[in-house]
Amino acid sequence: MTETTLPPITTTIDARGSFCPGPLMELIRGMKESEVGDVLAVLSTDKGSKTDIPKWIGKAGHNLIGVFARDGYDEIIVEKVR
């Protein structure tokens, strides 16, 4: 999926400045509070997030829409599937 075809973001989790496992824990909390079909964006400056979060998403059965490098942080976009 390209950035021009991204679905609308339902919730943005700004975890910039948080270190492992903070961004992942914030995403897990956000997933618990969201509905199936919601799209969450995690903003993270922690370099491990761009590998740790996609691994968790696969194990948890959700959909990784994309990981995008931004100016000084990564944006990880996830769809809640179940």
Residue 20: active-site member: yes
Among residues 1, 20, 25, 81, the one annotated as catalytic is 20
CATH of the domain at 34: 3.30.110.40
- Residue 2 in any domain: the answer is no
- The amino acid sitting at 48 is G
- Residue 5 in any domain: the answer is no
- Burial class for 33, CB neighbours closer than 10 Å (0-12, 13-18, 19+): exposed
Mean pLDDT of the chain: 94
- Residue 3 in any domain: the answer is no
- Residue 18 in any domain: the answer is yes
pLDDT interval class at 57 (50, 70, 90): very high
Q: What is the domain range of residue 36?
A: 11-79
The structural domain count of the chain equals: 1
Single pTM value for the model? 0.91
Q: Which residues pair with 44 in a beta bridge?
A: 74
Can you read off the two tokens belonging to residue 60? 């948890």
Tens-place pLDDT, residues 14-49: 999 998 889 999 999 999 999 999 999 999 999 999
